[in-house]
Amino acid sequence: MVVLDVETGRYFGLNSVGARIWEGIEQGLPLAAIADGIVQQFEVGRDTCETELLDLVRELLAENLVRIDSPPASGPGS
């Protein structure tokens, strides 16, 4: 998978695990759920998966390819 930053014109290549992470982010899945799917789909331990998942998310954040949104407020007065 290749991700294009339309603002800078830079391309970022993702392997199959990176592509799965990107798809999970696009779907709005929590990182824990993305990690669950990767551990099930690929031969990787949970600790390694979480470390590499967070490393990629940090890189995507640094490159402004993703952002962290606050969850919507709920309840009275929100």
Residue 35: the pLDDT is 97
Q: Is residue 71 part of a domain?
A: no
76 pLDDT higher than 70:
no
pTM, two decimal places: 0.80
Average pLDDT over residues 27-35: 94
Q: How far, rounded to the nearest angstrom, does the alpha carbon of residue 51 sit from its chain's CA centroid?
A: 12
Average pLDDT over residues 35-58: 94
Q: Is residue 74 part of a domain?
A: no
67 pLDDT higher than 80:
yes
Q: Is residue 45 part of a domain?
A: yes
Q: Is residue 67 part of a domain?
A: no
CB 39 within 8 A of CB 49: yes
In angstroms, the CA 33 to CA 49 distance is 12
Could you say which DSSP state residue 59 is in? H
Q: Is residue 56 part of a domain?
A: yes
Q: Is residue 77 part of a domain?
A: no
Amino acid at 18: G
Band of pLDDT at residue 55, cut at 50, 70 and 90: very high
CB 7 within 8 A of CB 14: no
Residue 72: the pLDDT is 61
